[in-house]
Amino acid sequence: MGQVYIIQGDITKVEVDAIVNAANNTLLGGGGVDGAIHRAAGPELLEECRKLNGCETGQAKITKGYKLPAKYVIHTVGPIWRGGHKNEEQLLASCYRNSLQLAAENGIKTIAFPSISTGAYRFPVNRAAKIAMLEISKFLEDNDSIEKVYMVCFDEGTTQAYNEAFKEINEKE
Ligand code: ADP
């Protein structure tokens, strides 16, 4: 079965088949990890994104990685946290599920995720971490094609949240 690794660092530097971008609905670039990915990939990424006609919250679209070490970028749009009664948890789970599904369909074996929605979109990181770890674990149980999933956390607090969520899920089994 595929393995999950939680690491701290910059996702644009990770050598995997695909990195996931926490994009916005336009797919035309933004701040945070989105800005970092576009800067590292170069202007051709934005050119390809312009042809995609945006992306709905919870869905995912794939492009090439251009100057990134990763061959592909999977762009997914996390929900903006609005207090928890606007389907935010289900939408965040869909981001992970749909990104992994798209990766599997494209023969991707190693993939790296950032902490979707917990920056500018303000999703509480402890809740987000539980949802992410649960969706990734469920997917790997049912699907043989993905070998490694990296959760790339940018700061110490985020790393801690994902490590705790990972422990919780694995202790239950
Ligand atoms: P969102 O709008 O989905 O909340 P953000 O980019 O604002 O997306 O934040 C998502 C997470 O990505 C935050 O934890 C932020 O610290 C982190 N982040 C920012 N830059 C990078 C990077 N280069 N690599 C990995 N994670 C990053």
Q: Provide the domain count of the chain.
A: 1
Q: What is the pLDDT of residues 30-68, one digit of tens each?
A: 999 999 999 999 999 999 999 999 999 999 999 999 999
The conformational region for residue 9 under phi > 0 = left, psi -120 to 50 = alpha, else beta, is: left
Pocket test for ligand 1, best of 24, 28, 75, 154 (most atoms within 8 A of CB): 154
Look up the ipTM and state it: 0.99
The number of CA neighbours under 13 Å toward the Cβ of 162 is 24
What is the CB < 6 Å shell around ligand 1? Answer: 10-12, 22, 32-34, 36, 78, 114-121, 152, 154-155, 158
CATH number at residue 47: 3.40.220.10
Give the whole-number percent of the chain exceeding pLDDT 70: 99
Distance CA 131, CA 135 (A): 6
Domain that holds residue 92: 4-172
Ligand 1 atom at minimal distance to the Cα of residue 77: 3
Contacts of 68 (CB under 8 A, 6+ apart): 12, 19, 37, 40, 41
